[in-house]
Amino acid sequence: MQSFDSDQLLGKKRLPHDLDKGNCKPITSHEGKPYYPCGLIANSVFNDTFPTVTWMNSAGGSESICILKGHY
């Protein structure tokens, strides 16, 4: 599968028409604005999903542990 733009991932500016004509299909642009990152590959890795982080003190109170909840 080739649904990404290597120039965009390298930090180069890409205009919507560059992405629409390139290898990012089907996720290229929307209403004249480019997707960052574009393409199926980039959007399956960089999906902006973060777990809920809860810090809890241990029984003695001197150490803390981190518990991750949610989707990740």
Mean pLDDT, rounded, of the chain: 75
- Predicted pLDDT of residue 8: 87
- Predicted pLDDT of residue 66: 54
Residue at 1 is within a domain: no
Number of domains the chain is built from? 1
The structure tokens listed for 27 are 């996720």
The residue segments making up the domain with residue 43 are: 6-69
- Predicted pLDDT of residue 71: 47
Residue at 39 is within a domain: yes
Q: What is the pTM of this model?
A: 0.52
The per-residue b/e assignment along 22-50, b for 16 or more CB within 10 angstroms, e otherwise, is bebeebbbeeeebbebbbebbbeeeeeee
> Number of C-alpha atoms within 13 angstroms, CB side, residue 70?
9
